[in-house]
Structure 1
């Protein structure tokens, strides 16, 4: 309970006789309070009506941005001075496109030269096969065949050992033409010792083998360019088997041995054709430089002609 002194007065008394000292009211303001600090705008900033100390106009720099006329310092970042990702990708695809177009032009050039060489060779073979006087002349004078064999080896060694003739345009075409004529004459001379049926059969089988190998090399993901050592061993073994076969056949011990040798030789040179074809593509472990188009056409041409020689031996023995 509260005491009488602490209890509030009645309502009527308060209305009729108010007393200011009955409760502690706050004292009246005798002097004005200091105004709040005014807004001091930055240089070049004015208010809506040209007054200072109010909000800046619309369109000016907002909070966090430097005022107009003040220079700022650029902070370097980690990517400063480096090309953007888009530039790197554009350069990468441009390089890929250029290299791919150069490689395609190189392949077209190689196969164009190879087509011309094969056309000359098989035209000479057809002449030596169908024209009887030419066939009899070759059989009567075998010295021309040995002369063409010597020219073939000499020009082949020049094209392999000397790199300059392969890159100088007039010189490499002349050497390649001489080499093609020498090997074509050799092919015609060998074909004149076989029947027409055996020659046509060998030409057909050679064409099928070469087309199949080319399609296989362009489609497969297997890399045969890393098997150069094995192919060299196979070539050495083929040479040894050839010498043994020549000795054995001279004594007529095993008459069918030359067919086995011819089949092995056709298989080995087919593998060489696969190897040299993949060297042209450029997307394997090893590749030929686009400047070496003469060497590329030369390697394919020799492989195809040797496949024809070995298949001709098999077909000739089969038809006889």
Structure 2
């Protein structure tokens, strides 16, 4: 009987093709749409990618080390500029006397610092786009140095130098502790935020009571809070397997800003503590 859709395929002839066992590594695959065209598919083993994975991990370590170098090199430049400005206010007598008679200068620099901090913290493009990020960070460093210099002008030069020395020792000790310690301080973000608001409330209490002993307690509490923040920010920069959170390598300007603000806050609190105890 004839089929309606076409003829049956011809029977397979062993004499035409032979009867051999297959020992090769490739197969003849016939495309279903056209029986006349064929393609050969190779079922060989896939290439080895183990060395590539090792290279990726090594590359990540290099990126993190380069990020740390950028952050601390930028921080070192910021601190050198700040120390130079403070020394100018301490040892340039005309500038120091001018600062005493123009208190508006300190408040103006404080407002400029707040505006630049908010701009660098809230605008991602500003702190990531070169050279705008370095320009903004440089302006912030100069404004912060002028504000610190105008504040340091009201203290004795010896007290300011002692505060600088104490800040250097405390910052180095805390940084080494943050690098070596396996305690993860990056999980304490919420607790540190609560401590910061407690410190702000205590500052308002100091403004109302105006007691020397309350000022001393405030300076001690503030030193503790910003010491914890310095360890927290350092571990965010360093990262590693013992840290739950770490900072992106693209945020080296923001990372340097965080460390700089922590160190400057420690300096101001230690300066106030030394001035009150003298």
Specify the TM-score bucket, using the shorter chain as the normaliser.
Answer: 0.7 to 0.9
Structure whose alpha-carbon radius of gyration is higher: 1
Question: Separation in 2 of the partners of 1:255 and 1:211?
Answer: 29
From 279, 282, 288, give the equivalent of 2:236. Answer: 279
Aligned-pair distance for 1:71? 5.2
- Equivalence for 1:110: 71
1:131 aligned partner: 92
Q: Does residue 158 of the first structure (1) align with residue 122 of the second (2)?
A: no
Q: Structure 1 residue 225 and structure 2 residue 225: aligned?
A: no
Flag structure 1 segments of 5+ consecutive residues without an equivalent: 1-68
**What is residue 264 of structure 1 aligned with on the other side?**
221
Give 2:251's aligned residue: 292
In the TM superposition, structure 1's runs of 4+ consecutive aligned residues that sit over 2 Å from their partners are 73-76, 79-84
Question: In the alignment, which residue of structure 1 is the partner of 2:266?
Answer: 307
Higher RCO (CA 8 Å, separation ≥ 6 residues): 2
Superposed displacement of residue 74, structure 1: 4.2
Higher helix share: 2
Q: Report the counterpart of residue 155 of structure 2 in structure 1.
A: 194
Secondary structure at the counterpart of residue 250 of structure 2: coil
**2:198, 2:21 → 1: CA distance?**
86
Give the aligned length. Answer: 242
1:208 aligns with 2:208: no
Q: Offset of 1:282 from its aligned partner?
A: 2.0
Distance of 1:314 and 1:194 partners within structure 2: 12
TM-score scaled by length of structure 1 = 0.73
> What is the Cα deviation at residue 134 of structure 1?
1.2
The aligned residue for residue 180 of structure 1 is 141
1:54-65 paired onto structure 2 within 5 Å: none
C-alpha RMSD of the superposition:
1.8
The alignment's TM-score, normalised by the length of structure 2, stands at 0.83
Corresponding residue number in structure 2 for 1:120: 81
- What is the 5 A alignment of 1:136-155? 136-155=97-116
The secondary structure found in structure 1 opposite 2:131 is helix
